[in-house]
Amino acid sequence: MTTPPKHRSPSKDRYAANHPAITVHFDLDTYKRLIALRDATGLSLNELVRAALDSLEAQVATILERGRREGVTEGKKIGEAAGRKTGYDEGWKVGYLKAQATFRLTYPCHVCGKPVAVRVGAPDAKHAIEVRPTSAIVARRHGKARDILRARRAVCSVQRHLRLHRCTRCRRVLELRHRLRA
């Protein structure tokens, strides 16, 4: 057996539409605090909720603004640290490339013509460095025919020596060809 639906008056329907109900469940401690506050103030639960809502609404803008300011400050700190590190790394790379372009010694590969860097302590470093002092400085200072002739001979011997040196890629290709022939 089912019970017939109850008839509600139109005024109750209008009131329920304009005043929707919200049910809130509390734990026992919160419920006791709410009842104690109601008894101490003499306000109804509805009035307590409205008063709390009014005071909270007034503080929301202040709370949000403070949170935004703190977030911006923290974001700036993080951004500055990341920017400083990125700037340092980029500056170091640019400075290294400029120094390398200015101070690196190279000579052309005998096979492909690409520049081969002279490494410190490498066997070709001594011969590559001898070119400039012998040819340029001695000939400029004295201008004597025999010094110029000596400088040219030194340059030729260094060039002959450097012809034996190849870049790593060409050296590997030539070694591979040599192995295939054997």
Q: What is the mean pLDDT of the chain?
A: 77
pLDDT tens string 56-80 = 888 888 888 999 999 999 999 999 9
Residues 129, 138 contacting (CB under 8 angstroms): no
Task: Give the chain's length.
Answer: 182
Q: State the pLDDT at residue 136.
A: 45
Sign of torsion over alpha carbons 5, 8, 12, 18: positive
**In terms of pTM, does the model score above 0.85?**
no
Give me the domains of the chain, ranges plus CATH numbers: 21-100 (1.10.1220), 105-181 (no CATH)
Q: Hey, what amino acid is at 13? A: D
Enumerate the β-bridge partners of residue 106.
117
Per-residue pLDDT, 101 = 76
Q: Is the pLDDT of residue 125 over 70?
A: no
Cα–Cα distance list, 3 to 6, 9, 10 (Å): 9, 18, 21
